[in-house]
Structures are given as structure tokens and as C-alpha cells.
Structure 1
């Protein structure tokens, strides 16, 4: 996704993070390493280059990843996610649209270069600054290693210092998860609990503990995950925002209190914004409509009273978009929805109408979550977006604790955490579970809905070993209004996959080592299932 930027990203971050600092530039086109370590201000500049890792392109990568799952459908048939989910292309050692091997090792080396420089030149700085700077970079190294670990079965090459590769043999999963946990423990020890408002978005103890909880969930280290959440809660800083819809309409410039945000990335339009709305909004907004929610997700949103929605219920089928839970209206645009001063029209031939081929919805739905509905773009055009991106929010942390406690056999505490998220969603009646299996069905539903479009669904199904059934041999559907005498007579089911069945091979649960790595690294061996 294109990012609107009139100034260099690193300089943009400096303006936000270091306003008031005076840096005397050295007029040269090449800076020596000594310049980078010559002052505290330059040290902060060096740290800022890591922050684009957590949200430079807003939610675009997360939406694209969710399109490999069952909750989003790219509307253009030739989109990468469609080619792979429908089996036109297959994941191989030579081609993997979700792989990140070279990206990961580029960033690991960048992290280790900084840490090596700190060892050589950091003695001139106060100890507190040195420890905090190292903690920031080790957080980012842990994040990069985690993103690789979840793709390659936590069997990757570990580098804790220069020189690095990628070269060498794969480490064991235990070694990888230990390394990630160690970096994040260091972060939790040396990062500040809070930062001033002018430094919002800088790393804190909560960020390190939140990422550790997420990583340990993938590692199936259930107690380590729940312990990380308990340590985060002990800080006494975080809570759910009272309004799910307004949570995703936050602008950092307004300085609104938001205890749900554990780590965020902020924007400042027009100098530094994003083009997300332009690419994903409905055509009636003058957007490119690249993606649509599927009926698989839309039907998962319950009724406001907590009962399940069903098209086989005559009352539901007659008025399917009435009386649903608040997260539905915050997340989904549907036929008849009020939006930007107009009414959405998804009937065939309508301004937002259903069609197969791209440029409009292939399911009868559009995303609502993450869009700025305050500007009538159909009249005024698009401006660079400036809503907050959340790398980690407290609702996810509660769901991590819920799952981790259930896996430890403590269903009571698991339900407490789960029901906190549901109460914010407007449900008055707590859900109950008589067994771990019953609870996990509730938990999986809740993560699907609460975290929709935030890039978790594909990876969740994969780590639960459900992708091989949920994403294989099925097709995603939608619903389109049938109009008779200017009235909606019914909603016709449509096949968003246009007659094709989805393909997910069991070996996709661990991606293959890329061919180029096998060719350049004699110590690297391919996974057995990919030989």
C-alpha cells in the first residue's frame, strides 16, 4: 500500500518523538559510525528506524493476511490470496506469498548492528539510556524472530550478535522460543512503564509483556503466556475502551485517553498519513474496493441478546441486519447501511453493487472497521488517513489469557477474561462452558469477531491445526439483496469463490525453507514434509 509522506519517515518520527532537540547536522553525504553514536539525540534517531516495523502501512498487511482465511475475500480474481487459497498457485520453496525469510534476516542483522555498536560506543551514555536503547532493539529483534517462528515452525537460525547470515543450521523450537522470551524479558525489565504524551508510541514494559504473551501463546507455553498477562495487569495501566467503534476512530492529535492501547503507531495528516481508505472503501465512496468480508464472518456476529444469528431463522432472514451486536455495526457495511451521508446499495447494478471481477464487492459486504466515516469522500475525495493503528491492544491480551488459562485447566479464570471482552461488546449475559472443548469453541468465535481484520485469523486457524479443515475444500459465500417493487424481498446467497473450492495442504502448517536459502547455506536442511 502506498503511504502518503512529504517527509522521510525517520524524520517524521523524530518530529514526534524528539521535538525540542537541537541536532547540528554534519554536511556530508556519508556519515561515519561515530556520528551515529556522537550524541543522545543521534542515538534516538538510530532507534527510530525500527519503529516502522509496527505499523508504517496501517492495517494493510493484516487485512491482506486475513484474506488468506475465511473472513475476507479479495475482490480481484487475480489477487495473490485468491490464487493461493483457490489452488491456482501453491506454496512451494520457490514461491510463498506469506513467507518472510529474507525480510526477517535483514532486520535481525540491522538489530544486531545496533547492539554491536552499543557495545563498542555506548559507554559514553548514561546506563539507564543504554539499557533502554538495548531493550527497544531487543524487542524489535524478538518481534522479527517471532514473525519468522510462526511461519517456519520455530525452527529458524538464531543470531545474537554479528557477524550473521543468513547462514548456519536451524535452531530447535525450544531454543528459538527461549531466545524470543529472553529478549522480551530484557525489554520488560528495562523499558519504562509509561512515556510522556509527546512520546506516545515508544516502547514500554506493557509492550514487551504483551508481545511475550502473544509469542508464548504460539509456543504453547501456556503458563508463560498467562504470567506475562498477569505482569502486564500488575502495572495497573490498561483496560478496555468503553466503545469498540470509537476505539478505531482515534486520532493521536486529539490526545484522547485510551487505556486499551498497549502499543500503537500514530499518523499526522497530511504530512504523514496512509491511503488505506482509498484502496478498500466501497465504489460509492470513490474507493477501489479491494476486499470484502465474507458471510462466514458476517453470520458469526451474534444478535444483541447473545443468541446466534442464522439464515434458517425466518425472523433473522427477513431482517438480517437488525438487532445485531454492536461490533457488527462497527465492522461491517451492508445493504441499507447509513454511511457517509448516503445509504449503501449492494444490489446488482447498484452504486456499491455485487459483481465478480474486481472493483466492487464479491460478497455483498464491505469493511467498516478502520475507515474514517467522517469525510464524504464521494464528494471531497480522499486525504491521507490519520487514525491510530494498534499493534497490541488490551482486548487481545485478555483473549490470550483466556486461552492460556483454559489450556491450563482453569476454565473459571478463562471465562472471566473472555466475558470481560464480551461485556464491552454489549452482552449482558455471561457465557459458560462445562469443558475445555466447550470453552475453546467460545474462544475461537470471540477471536474471530473481536480481532477481525487485524491479521490474526489465518494464523489462529493454522496454530490450532484447524486450517486443514476450515480452509480446505470449502468456498466462501456472501448475500445479495433481491429487490422486488423497490423492496428487499430476500437475500440471495452468492459464491464469492465463483465455483472453486479452497485448498489448504496439511504441510502448510509449517512453511518450507526458501530455495535460495538452501542453495546458499550448506548447513541448512529442508523440512521433511517439503523434501
Structure 2
């Protein structure tokens, strides 16, 4: 997805990092190696090139990844997520829509180039500035290695320095997770706990500890997860924002206190905004309606009293969108919803429509979360968006904590963390569980709802080894309104996959080593399940 932007991101640096800075970089037509390390200002410009890693496309990549799972459906049948999910295309060593091998190793080389440069040429910089810069880049290197590890079963190649021309074999998962953990430990030890308001969005100690908790969750190092979160909580800086809906309507320019944000990426319209709304809003907003929430997700939003929703309950089915929990109304646009001074209409042929084929919803729903509903784009058109993107927020940390505690047999601690998230969502009755298995059902539901559209669902199902059932042999459904007497509606179930069943092969739990790596590196052998 393109940016609305009039600046060169890598040359000028991020607005959020450099706004208010009173140090000027050295200006010259050609930058030599020494110039890059000659001042703190030049160092900051070098560091800025890493920050796109945490959010330069707003939530675009995250909703696209969720479309490979069961909670979002791309409305155009030829989209890669549909072709893959329905078995029209398959993951192979030569083609992988969710692979990131080349992306990852290009970034790792960039990280190692920086680390080599500061070691070789950074003598003119103060020691504390050098340590902080190294900590930032080791955070980013850890993040890239984590993104590789979660795709390739943590059987990847570790590069702790620039390549010397020799080939390297795959490291073991134990070695990979140790390497990620060590980089994040260094980052946490040398990053500041807080940064000035003029540098909001820069890496902090909390960001390093939070990413360590996320990475070690995938590594199943449960005690390390809880240790990282204990250290994060010990900073006394983070808590849930009181209002889930307003959390996703924050703008950096508002300067509102938000303790939930652990690491964020900000935008500033019109010079540095995003086009997310333009591509994903309903056609009644003059948007391109590229993606829709599924009934598989929508039915999971509970009633405000904590009871479940079911279409088999005739009273609830009569008024299916009344009395739901607040996160439902913050996240989903449904038939009859008030939106931008109008009413959403997903009847077939209505302004927001329903169809199989693209250009409108294929499920009867649209996203609400992440959209700016304050501008009547149907009349005024779209402007570059400027809501804050959260790379990590405290609600995710609480859910990570809950899962890790349950895995260590501490159900009371797990329930306490889980229920804190639910209380912010408006539930007054705490959940209980008599076993780890019972608790994990609650935890999985809560991650599905709380983190919807934030890019976790596909990877969650995969790491729980549930994808082979939850994403295999099923179809994605929707609910479309049918006009009834007295201005009411009934809702018919529709098959958004157009008569086809979804396919998830067991070997997708670990992606194959790309063919290009096998061809250029004789020490790397393909995984057994992909031979």
C-alpha cells in the first residue's frame, strides 16, 4: 500500500523522531564513511532508516496476514490470500506469499553494517550515545530474526556480523532463540526507560522487554516470558487505556497520555499520512472495500453481559447487533450501524452492497477498527490518515503473560491478567477456569477478539498447532440482511468462499527454505517435510 507523502523518508528522517531537535546534521553532497559517525545528528539520521520496520504501512500488512486466517476475507477472489487458503496456490520453496527470507536477510545485513560501522568509526561519539545506538539496532536485528524464526521453525542462519564470503549452515532453534534473547537483553539494558516528547516513538527499555516477551512466547520459554514482563511491569509506566474504541483513534498531535502504548509509529497528515481508509472503507464511503470481517469472527463477539451469541437463539437472531460487547461496536461495521452521518446498508444492491467478486463486502460486514469516522468521505473525499499505529500495546502483554502463566500451572495469575483485559472491555464478571485446557479456550477467544486485525490470528493458530484444523476443511461465512416487514431484517447465511473448502497442509507449520538459498548455499539442506 502506498503512502500519501511528500518527503523522502530515509533522507529526512521521521517527523516523530526529529521534530523539535536542535542538533543539525552535517550538510554535504557526498557522505563519506567518517561523516556518518561524526555527530549525534548524523547518527540519528542513520538510525531512522530502521524505523520503517515497526509500522510504515499502518495496519495494512497486519490485516492482510489476518486474511490468511479465519477472521478476515479479501473481497476480490484473485487475491493471494484467497488463492492460498482455497488451494488454488500452494506454498513451495519457490513461492511463498507469507515468506520473508530475502527481506529478513537484507535487513540483517543492514543492521550488521551499522553495528560494524559504529564499532569501527564511532570513536568520536560519546560512549552512552554509542551504546544507545547499538541497543536500537540490536533490537531491530532481534525483531527481524524473530520474524524469520516464527516462519521457518527457528531453523535459520544466524549472522552476528557482516558476511566474510564463507557459507553458513542453519542454526538450531535453541541457538536462534538464544541469539534473539541476547540481542533484546542488550537492548533492554542500554535503552532509556522513557524518551522526551519530541522523540516519542523512539525505542525504549519497555519496547525491548515487550518484544522479548512476544518472541519467547513463540519459543515456549514460559519462565523467560514472565521474567521479561515482570521487568516491564517494574518500570511502572504501562497500563490499559480506559477506552478501547478511542485507543485506536489517537493522533500524536493530540499529545494525549496513553500508557497502553509500548511502541508506536505516528503519522502526520498531509505530508506523512497513509491511505489505509481509502482502500478498505465501504463503497458508501467511496472506499475500495478490499477486505471484510467474517461471520466466523463476528459471532465470537459476546453479549455485553458476557454470554455468548448464537444465531440459533431466536431472540438474539432477531436483533443480532444489539447488546453486544463494546469491542464489537469499536471493530465491526454491520447493517444498520451509524457511520459518518449515515447508516450502513449491506443489503444486496444497497449503498454498501453485498456481492462475491470484489468492490463490496462478501460477508455482510466491514471493519470499523482503525478507520477515521469523523470525516464524511462520501462527500469530502479521503485525506491522508494520521492515527497512531501500535507495534506493541500493553493489552497484548497481559495476554502473553496470561498464556505463559497458564503454561507454568499458575491459573490464578493467568486469570488475573486475562480478566484485566476483559474489564477494560466492559465485562463485570470475572472468568474462571478449572484446568489449563479450559483456560486456553478462554485465552484463545480473547486474543481473537482483543487483537482482531492486528496480524496475530494466523500465527497464533499456527503456533498452537490448531491451523491444520481451524483453517482446513472449513468455509468462511457471512450474514446478509434480507428486508422483512415493518422495516426489519432477517439475516441469511452466505458462503463467502463460493462453495469451496479451505486447505491448510500440516507442513505449513514450518515454511520451506527458499530455493534461491538452497542454490547459493551448499551447507543448507531443505527441511525433511519439504523434500
TM-score above 0.5, yes or no: yes
Q: Contact conserved, 2:16 with 2:201, CA < 8 A, in 1? A: no
1:193 corresponding residue in structure 2: 193
139 and 473 in structure 1: CA distance in 2 versus 1, 3 angstrom threshold: same
Deviation, 1:17, is: 2.1
What is the SS of the residue equivalent to 1:239? coil
Q: Following superposition of structure 1 onto structure 2, how do residues 150-161 of structure 1 map, counting pairs within 5 Å?
A: 150-161=150-161
What is the SS of the residue equivalent to 1:73? strand
1:203 corresponding residue in structure 2: 203
Q: Deviations over 1:260-298 (max 9, x none)?
A: 000000000000000000000000000000000000100
Q: Contact conserved, 1:105 with 1:165, CA < 8 A, in 2? A: no
Q: Following superposition of structure 1 onto structure 2, how do residues 137-286 of structure 1 map, counting pairs within 5 Å?
A: 137-163=137-163, 167-286=167-286
Deviation, 1:3, is: 0.8
Matched, 1:5 2:14: no
Matched, 1:287 2:287: yes
Q: Distance in 1 between matches of 2:263 and 2:166?
A: 29
Deviation, 1:166, is: 9.7
Deviation, 1:12, is: 5.0
Q: For structure 2, list consecutive stretches of 5 or more residues without a partner in the other structure.
A: none
Deviation, 1:371, is: 0.2
Deviation, 1:167, is: 4.1
2:370 corresponding residue in structure 1: 370
Deviation, 1:22, is: 4.3
Deviation, 1:430, is: 0.1
Q: Contact conserved, 1:105 with 1:166, CA < 8 A, in 2? A: no
1:434 corresponding residue in structure 2: 434
Q: Following superposition of structure 1 onto structure 2, how do residues 315-354 of structure 1 map, counting pairs within 5 Å?
A: 315-354=315-354
What is the SS of the residue equivalent to 1:150? helix
Q: Contact conserved, 1:70 with 1:297, CA < 8 A, in 2? A: yes
What is the SS of the residue equivalent to 1:20? coil
1:41 corresponding residue in structure 2: 41
Deviation, 1:34, is: 1.1
What is the SS of the residue equivalent to 1:481? strand
What is the SS of the residue equivalent to 2:448? helix
- What is the root-mean-square deviation of aligned Cα atoms in Å? 1.1
Q: Distance in 1 between matches of 2:247 and 2:405?
A: 27
Q: Distance in 2 between matches of 1:170 and 1:198?
A: 42
Q: Contact conserved, 1:480 with 1:493, CA < 8 A, in 2? A: yes
Q: Contact conserved, 1:67 with 1:81, CA < 8 A, in 2? A: yes
1:481 corresponding residue in structure 2: 481
Q: Contact conserved, 1:12 with 1:272, CA < 8 A, in 2? A: no
Deviation, 1:32, is: 1.4
Q: For structure 1, list consecutive stretches of 5 or more residues without a partner in the other structure.
A: none
188 and 24 in structure 1: CA distance in 2 versus 1, 3 angstrom threshold: closer
Q: Distance in 1 between matches of 2:151 and 2:15?
A: 35
1:93 corresponding residue in structure 2: 93
Q: Distance in 1 between matches of 2:517 and 2:279?
A: 34
Q: Contact conserved, 2:25 with 2:39, CA < 8 A, in 1? A: no
126 and 25 in structure 1: CA distance in 2 versus 1, 3 angstrom threshold: closer
Q: Contact conserved, 2:146 with 2:180, CA < 8 A, in 1? A: yes
2:22 corresponding residue in structure 1: 21
Q: Contact conserved, 2:21 with 2:198, CA < 8 A, in 1? A: no
Q: Deviations over 1:292-326 (max 9, x none)?
A: 00001000000000000000001110000000000
Matched, 1:405 2:402: no
Q: TM-score, normalised by structure 1?
A: 0.98
Q: Contact conserved, 1:158 with 1:170, CA < 8 A, in 2? A: yes
Q: Distance in 2 between matches of 1:63 and 1:475?
A: 19
Q: Distance in 2 between matches of 1:162 and 1:395?
A: 37
14 and 298 in structure 1: CA distance in 2 versus 1, 3 angstrom threshold: closer
Deviates more, 1:156-165 or 1:431-440: 156-165
What is the SS of the residue equivalent to 2:273? coil
2:456 corresponding residue in structure 1: 456
Deviation, 1:35, is: 1.3
Q: Distance in 1 between matches of 2:437 and 2:97?
A: 33
Q: Distance in 2 between matches of 1:304 and 1:407?
A: 29
1:500 corresponding residue in structure 2: 500
Q: How many residues are aligned here?
A: 530
Q: Distance in 2 between matches of 1:165 and 1:145?
A: 20
14 and 265 in structure 1: CA distance in 2 versus 1, 3 angstrom threshold: closer
What is the SS of the residue equivalent to 2:493? strand
Deviates more, 1:19-28 or 1:272-281: 19-28
76 and 15 in structure 1: CA distance in 2 versus 1, 3 angstrom threshold: closer
